[in-house]
Structure formats: C-alpha cells, structure tokens
Amino acid sequence: MYTSRKAGVDTGLLRFDKMAKITLNVNGRKHTLDLDPTTPLLYALSDDLELRGPKFGCGLGQCGACVAIVNGTAVRSCITPVSAAEGKEIVTLEGLGTPENPHPIQKAFIDQQAAQCGFCLNGVILTAKAFLDKNPKATEGQIQQALSSVLCRCFTHTRMQAAILHYQKVVSK
Amino acid sequence: MRREARNALDRRGFLKSAGALVVGFSMFHRDGLAQFGGTAIPGSPDNRQLDSWLAIGADGAVTAYSGKEELGQGISTAQQQLVAEELCVSFDRVHLIYCDTALTPDQAYTSGSQSHPANFNHGNLALACATAREALVSMASQRLGVPAARLSVTDGVISGGGGKVGYGELIGGKKLNLTLNPAAKRRNPHEWTVLGKPIGRPDMAAMATGQFEYVHNVRLPGMLHGCVVRPPTVGTSVASVDEDSVKDVAGIVKVVVRKNFVGVVTQKPWQATQAANRLKVTWTPGVGLPPQSDYYSSLRNQPSQDVLLVDSKDTMQTLAGAATLLKATYNHPYQMHGSVGSSCAVADVQGDKATLYSPSQGVWYQKTTGAMILGLKPENVHVIFRRGSGCYGLNGADTVSYDALVLSQAVGKPVRVQLSRKDEMAWENFGNAWTIDERVGLDAKGDIITWEHEAWTPSRGNRPGSSTPGNVVTGNLLGFEPAPFSPGPAQEPRAYNNGSNGVPSYVAGRVGGKDGGTGTVKSEKALVHNLKSPFWTGPLRSPARLQNTFAHESFMDEVAARVKADPVEYRLRHLRSERVIGVLKASAQAARWDTRPSPKPGNSRAGTVTGRGVACVAYEGDNGYTGIVVEVAVNQDNGNVWVKRMWVAIDAGPISNPDGLRNQAEGGALQGMSRALGEEVTWDNEKVTSVDWRTYHSLPLGIELPPIECVLVNRPDDEATGAGETSITVVAAAIGNAVFDATGVRLRQIPFTPERVMAELKARG
C-alpha cells in the first residue's frame, strides 16, 4: 500500500492557522489583510485583492507568471511569503498603466502585438521592466540572461524580445 | 477525404469516430466539420438560422456569435474582420461573442486548424454575413425604391439613387428571421478593405495591462476553492481516505471522495493547496510502467488496431526489384502541452442546474459529458468559455472542468479549481509517442519508385467527445472508462484521408482509382498500428502530423543524400502539388538556398560547424502548406545544436490577417524548435517524472533567437485553410536535416539533446 504525498507530515511550514494582520502597499495603495503570514504573496494579490496581473503558473518559482515588482526588484510572488513583502512597495502589471494610457513597456508590447494567449505577459513585462530600469545600458545578452527563467509556451519570443529592446531605447534615453 | 465529403458526414459519424484511436483523433478534428447542417446539441442556437449568428442593434452596431473560440491564436480578431468585411461596417462596430452554449451556434471543437476553413469559406459565419448583407440591401431596395444593383454599402449605410438608409434603421433590434442562403455571394477578396489587413488584436491592451479576465480570474459570489488529490502512481485506486487528517486545517469545508476521485474544498485557494497536501490517502499499488529505455522497441510487439491509409499492393515486389533499397527508423517521445498557467475552471452547481466557466476547446462536449458526471440533464448545464493559458490542444482544461463540477456539486456552492503544476504535468493527455519505419526502393537513376511507411503509436483516452468523460483523468477516476481499445487488422481504405500526414508528400495517394496525394510515386503503402498507452494521450499541436512529417522529411533527406542530390531539387522531382511546390520554392528562395547535396563539403570534424536543412508539408494533406529552411550551428565538442536562422513560407489560402498569420508562423517555428531540441516526457517504473520546468525542458524566453523570415503566400482565389499548426510540423525534420548537412550525422530520435548528438558524433568518429 502507498500513502500519498506529504501525508501525515506536519512541519512548521504547514501550520497556517495562525492569522495575522498584514499591511501591503500595492500599486500605491495600502491594504490590510488578515492572513496566515506564510501565505505566498501571490495569493494575497490574486485572491484577496483580486488583481488580474499576477498569475499562478507553477507555484515553484520556475516560470515567472506570478512576478510582482517589490522595491524595484522582480520577485516570484508564488514562493515569497506575504510577510516578506510587508512594508515594501509592491507593483503589479495593472500598476504600470491602463489600456487607455499604457506604460511605455506595455505600449511596446501592444505595438509589437507581442503576445498570443498572453498568460505569461505579466512575468515577461515586469521582469524586463525591473531589469532595464536598473540596467538601462544592458547588452542583449544580459537582457536574455535576465529572462532566462521566464517561460512563454506560445513562443512569442521574437516579438517579446523586440518589444523589450524597444522599451530599452525609451529608458536609456 | 476531400472537404466536401467531410462536410457530408453527419454528426453521428462524428460521434462514432470520437472513440477511435490515433487516426481517430485525426478523423476527429476533421469530422468536426460534419456538424454544419447536422443536428446541434440540444439547447444550442440553430446553425441554419441567421439570427443565431448575427444581431444588429438600433444603432447599427453588429453583434456576431461564433462557435470558434479565441485561444490566443488570434482567430477572434480575424472573425471580427470577416464580419466587418462582409457586412461592410467598420471593424470597431462589430462585437464578437464566442462559445457560450446558451448563446452561440454549436461549432463542435475549436481545434485541428479548422476555424479558418470552417468560418472563412462558403459556410457558417461567412455565409451568415453574406446572407445578411444581401438581405439588408434587398430591404433597402424596397424601402428606397432603387434596384439593389444600384445600391452600395459604406459602414452600415446603404445608399444609391439619391437615397440612403442605415442597417439600424432597417432592422435594428429586430430579428432577421432568415435561413442562411447558400447562394449568397461573398465579397470579392480582391476588393477586401478590412479582411486581409494586419489589424491589431483588440484584446492586446487588456492583456498587457493586467485587465484581461482569464478563467483564472472568474470570481463568483460565495465562491470556494478546490484542490484535487491525484494518485501518486499510474493505475492505483483509493484504499482509504482519512478525513480527520485535515479536520484542523483552517478554512476546510469538505473532503470529497467519489470512487478514485479525491479532492478538498476550502474557503481560500492557499488553504486548499495545504489541505490537499496534508490529506492522508492510502492507495493500492499501481500497475507499474514499462521501462522507458526500450519503450520504442517494445511497441512493435503488442496487440494493435491497424489502419491502412494507402496500399498499391505492389510495394514488396517493387522493393525486391529496386536498384537500391533504403530504410530507417525514427522515434518521437511523448510530449506535453505544458501550458504556462496550470489549468483552471470555475463551476457553480445548484440542485439540478450547473454553470461552468471553462477554457475547454469543446464547450458543447463539456455540456454533455459534464451532465453525465453530475447526473444532470445536458440542457441544465450551461458552459461559458473563458480563456485559459494557451493550450495547444488537449491540456488539463477538460479534466479541471470536471474537477470543478464535481467539487461544486459536493458543496452546493461555486468552486474554483486550479491544478498544481505537478497535477497538470503528470496527468494531462500527452502528445503520443511514435516509432516509425520508412522504406524506399530507388531505380537506377536514383528516383524513388516505391515508398512504405509503417508506424506504431500508443494512445489512451482523447478528447471526451459528447459521451466519453473517461477519456481524461478525472472522468476515469470517477469511474467512466476511456474509449475502448479494440485490436484488429486494417480495413481497405475507402477514401483518401491524409489528416494525420501518415502518407508522405511524395506518393500518389491513390485510393478508389483517384490520386489524392501530392506526389508522384505510384507504388505506396502507409500502415499505422494503434496501441495501448500507459499514459493519457490526446491531440497536441499538429498531432501525428508533426511526428509523421519528422519521419518522412528526415527520410527524404537521407534518400537525397544517398543519391547525392540536392534536397530541394530531389523533393521537387517527386512532387506534383502546385501548393507544396510553391511553399518549398518560396522558403528556399528566401533562404538563398545553396543548391548542392548534403553533407556540406569541407566542414571540420571538430569545433562548431554550420549547415542548412529543408522540409515541407501539405498539412493534413490539404489544410495548409508550409516549407521551411533552417540554418544550424552544431558544437561537435559538446553536442549542442543551435538554430541560427529560419525561413518559413506559409500558404493558408486567402490571408485573413497577415500579422496574425505571421505571429502563428513565428510561434509555431519556435515551439517546434523547443520540442525538437529539449522536450520529452519521462517516467520511472511507476509514475511520470517530468512534472515541473526543471524536469520538462522548454526553451525559455531568454535565449539567443534565430531571426525568422516569414513568406506569406496569399492565394485569394483559393479556399481558406488551417494556419496555426503548419510551421511547427516541419521544424524538427529541417533541424535534423541541417545537423546532417553540418556534420554528416543523422538524428533519428527527438529530442536532439546534446547527449544524443554526442553519441552520434562519437559513432561517426
């Protein structure tokens, strides 16, 4: 007989019934949530705050779909405890711009029609933005390195890289 | 099978074929066309009625209803262009609604590269629009007292003879009450002003700014969250579930056990994940899995259900009398859809009624099979398509829809379920594994005089169709069986059908006294052995077509090299289809093809060398045409293969949106590259082991990309064909052929990992 998964294992990580008031600063607004502090930031953003930008892709920090920018750095919100983001400035895809008034990097993606299903766009755009804002003079090789663990399974790579290079022209001016 | 013949099949034929195995799934796509004129699933708007397709508001704005959904492939934009073009209104005046079982015509699956042919030729949405425009002009003619021939339409306003009247004024808000008119004239493609233009996707801005609602973002009042507990190994059953193991979990609502289906429902999604991880389930031992190391050779010794595609009955004699005999075996692994977002669905089952928000490619089949799972009447199940992460075929969308239905029914409240990465990857319906033999006989001049193709491919399950929920894992865990496997000998082919590209492009394809193929070789045989698979399988972008084409096009290259012929010239010698010849020549021309035999003379046997390869195909025999040339660099010290450039020519008939077509061609080419170089499902003796992005290798975004030049061959006077699965079909063969050109080493097994390349290079010496 087989017994499944982590059945019966009761580690500290699995204790999640200790709720705490946690205040998050998301896209310039403060939200106080009653959460288990070990909850990944992604769940606070996509479930409690019902934001559509950050997405669950793998839950393992491997694909990038969940990325949020925390204090200027792209983080994998699916493996970042919400407690680690408290008091920091969190920016999600909807925090950059709107369809009517998109941020320059969003505009570059729209202009290049750089998506198919669009599910990965959150991680692609935020990872590239956080990197280029800090490294506006990065080489193409360095940009690729920054995107080396971001996945697009529609393989819209050509247009996405073009859109990112277009944004680099904007930030490096 | 020609398109007319396919259209003539009735829905019953379609449903019958739904249970068949590999050729079954190719038939499956194609026979999906049969619905038009057939009987729709009860409760769906009547496909023959104009009002099922179009509504015109008092302000003249047009609402169009389609049964073909947007999956990320851009078809909703093209459909909006089609409606605008045919009705002579501006693009922005058209609102498109697709795939809601209560609102839109039942157009079966959105799959098999059938949306473009189904809705852009002389039927369905295109015909509805043409019927409406003619009817409106006729009404205007009566209203204005001006002959219809003297009227013209500009942006929904009909004018002529000094008068004018708008669509809104003529019919706004009222039903048209007409049946589709088969004689209605489409607008002349040479005069298109909206179709054929590179109009940007209306959903792009919402996607790029995080506003777009995916199924993952659907939130219903009182909604709870579910998580499933899948078996730890293949072929196990539930022995016992210890519900007490999660009784202390915060937010726990219910543990749900139905036969071998196990799941939990909680207040919040993270709680559901935690509860599923903590739930103690005891399982019986699994059935065990065959060793992966000799899986391909094991396929040859199993009971099989055989399908004969062509057989001129003279291949054995012709092979025996040939001046030269060549043969080779090609292997292709199980691969996965691997959607970047794991699959998600939201269900709300209340009493005897259910509403399902599903990313399935077959909402009408979710209605009927969902009803079977719930024990409800199909007419009480309402399925609304919401886009998921790109699926590329039968990913976890159908199975997670069942998960959501079952869990919602158990708690009587709306439930959202999103699969874990592991549950998505271990249990999705993988693209089938294949082992393929190719044999040819050559005459004294080196031309092919006979070609035999023999393939072995295992499958289990498929799309659920209208009545087989056991074709995906959740249905099976609930006690429904997958479509039965019935071994048996092949029947004589009754009609030519190259829907799975089992027949190479270079043979005549003679069935029933008619040549249906695209080539010249008259002595021909193509035989498929369908086998049982231990894993779930189902259509993955270019199913069977890609694997067969890898074998055919690699082998054609081997034959050309053997007779020291140029690979393009040698292909042209054996082709008769103008459209295949067209794309082959167009890709070669774009690449400035260097005419000479392979391998490339003068390449060193150490260090990095370059080479070029070509491949072409008539996708499904007649549903889209592609030629490709790739240039590769091979590092002979570590076995790394890198694609340096690609040139892709595509002919999909009249181009509906050139930028959308280019996006599909580019994405297909790179997805094909990822599948050729790295993607392979792996397993141990009891379970799948490629269950995340460390163990299943997809090329990430951050790579040095090959520039891709697309040549879009526009054929305004031909029928619209499929487009999205064309370029991916030819990539693996072209890369393998380029590696041969560079190194003299032939790669016959996908993926072309550095280890495999090094092994071949060592064997070469």
Nearest to B701 among A109, A115, A147 (CB): A147
Taking residues B335-349, what's their average pLDDT?
Answer: 98
Q: Is B357 a residue whose pLDDT tops 50?
A: yes
pTM: 0.94
Taking residues B418-440, what's their average pLDDT?
Answer: 98
Q: Is B597 a residue whose pLDDT tops 60?
A: yes
What is the pLDDT at residue A1?
42
The answer to whether residue B4 sits within a structural domain is no
With bands split at pLDDT 50, 70 and 90, how would you rate the model's confidence at B40?
low
The answer to whether residue B125 sits within a structural domain is yes
Tell whether B602 and B650 lie within a shared domain. Answer: yes
The answer to whether residue B303 sits within a structural domain is no
* Interface A-B: count of C-beta contacts within 8 A: 246
Burial class (CB in 10 A: 0-12, 13-18, 19+), B712: middle
pLDDT tens digits for range A39-58 = 999 999 999 999 999 999 99
Contact B209 A119 (CB under 8 A): no
Tell whether B737 and B695 lie within a shared domain. Answer: yes
Tell whether A84 and A111 lie within a shared domain. Answer: no
Tell whether B423 and B516 lie within a shared domain. Answer: no
Tell whether A23 and A67 lie within a shared domain. Answer: yes
Tell whether A24 and A67 lie within a shared domain. Answer: yes
Select from B410, B427, B444 the last residue of a domain.
B427
Tell whether B418 and B449 lie within a shared domain. Answer: no
The answer to whether residue B297 sits within a structural domain is no
What is the pLDDT at residue B398?
98
The answer to whether residue A75 sits within a structural domain is yes
Q: Is B193 a residue whose pLDDT tops 50?
A: yes
Tell whether A89 and A111 lie within a shared domain. Answer: no
Domain that holds residue B247: 215-286+337-427
Burial class (CB in 10 A: 0-12, 13-18, 19+), B543: buried
Tell whether B538 and B680 lie within a shared domain. Answer: yes
- Note the Cα B695 to chain centre separation in Å: 24
The answer to whether residue A1 sits within a structural domain is no
Tell whether B440 and B411 lie within a shared domain. Answer: no
Tell whether A88 and A125 lie within a shared domain. Answer: no
Nearest CA to CA, how far is B562 from chain A (Å)? 35
Tell whether A89 and A109 lie within a shared domain. Answer: no
Mean pLDDT of chain B: 94
What is the pLDDT at residue B43?
75
Taking residues B600-610, what's their average pLDDT?
Answer: 97
The answer to whether residue A146 sits within a structural domain is yes
Tell whether A91 and A108 lie within a shared domain. Answer: no
pLDDT tens digits for range B94-141 = 999 999 999 999 999 999 999 999 999 999 999 999 999 999 999 999
B197-to-A107, B84, B117, B659, B692 alpha-carbon distances in Å: 21, 12, 18, 8, 40
The answer to whether residue B1 sits within a structural domain is no
Three-state DSSP class for residue B546: helix
Mean pLDDT of chain A: 92
The answer to whether residue A8 sits within a structural domain is no
Taking residues B10-16, what's their average pLDDT?
Answer: 31
- Residue of chain A minimizing CA distance to B69: A117
Tell whether A138 and A163 lie within a shared domain. Answer: yes
Three-state DSSP class for residue B531: strand
Which distant-in-sequence residues (6+ apart) come within 8 Å of B612 by Cβ? Answer: B591, B593, B594, B600, B629, B630, B631, B632, B738, B741
Domain that holds residue A124: 104-171
The answer to whether residue B273 sits within a structural domain is yes
Strands in B28-162 per DSSP E: 54-56, 62-66, 94-98, 152-154, 157-160
Q: Which residues of B touch A128 (CB under 8 A)?
A: none
The answer to whether residue B312 sits within a structural domain is no
For B505-577, where are the alpha helices, taking DSSP H only?
545-562, 567-573
Tell whether B554 and B480 lie within a shared domain. Answer: yes
What is the pLDDT at residue A19?
87
Tell whether A88 and A43 lie within a shared domain. Answer: yes
Tell whether A72 and A55 lie within a shared domain. Answer: yes
The answer to whether residue B722 sits within a structural domain is yes
CA dist., res. B31 & res. B44, Å (int): 19
pLDDT tens digits for range A60-105 = 999 999 999 999 999 999 999 999 999 999 999 999 999 999 999 9
Per DSSP, A7 falls in state T
Partner B, chain A 73-102, Cβ-Cβ below 8 Å: 92-94, 96-99, 102
Taking residues B686-712, what's their average pLDDT?
Answer: 98
Total domains in the fold of chain A:
2
Taking residues B694-707, what's their average pLDDT?
Answer: 98
pLDDT tens digits for range B208-259 = 999 999 999 999 999 999 999 999 999 999 999 999 999 999 999 999 999 9
Tell whether B268 and B347 lie within a shared domain. Answer: yes
- Residue of chain A minimizing CA distance to B224: A47
pLDDT tens digits for range A131-141 = 999 999 999 99
Select from A95, A130, A154 the last residue of a domain.
A95
Tell whether A63 and A35 lie within a shared domain. Answer: yes
Total domains in the fold of chain B:
3
B676-to-A29, B539, B668 alpha-carbon distances in Å: 46, 17, 12
Tell whether B179 and B141 lie within a shared domain. Answer: yes
Tell whether A91 and A142 lie within a shared domain. Answer: no
Nearest to A119 among B73, B203, B341 (CB): B341
Select from B371, B405, B427 the last residue of a domain.
B427
The answer to whether residue A6 sits within a structural domain is no
Domain of residue B464, CATH code: 3.30.365.10
Nearest to A43 among B269, B276, B390 (CB): B269
Taking residues B389-412, what's their average pLDDT?
Answer: 98
pLDDT tens digits for range A8-51 = 334 444 444 578 999 999 999 999 999 999 999 999 999 999 99
Tell whether B111 and B130 lie within a shared domain. Answer: yes
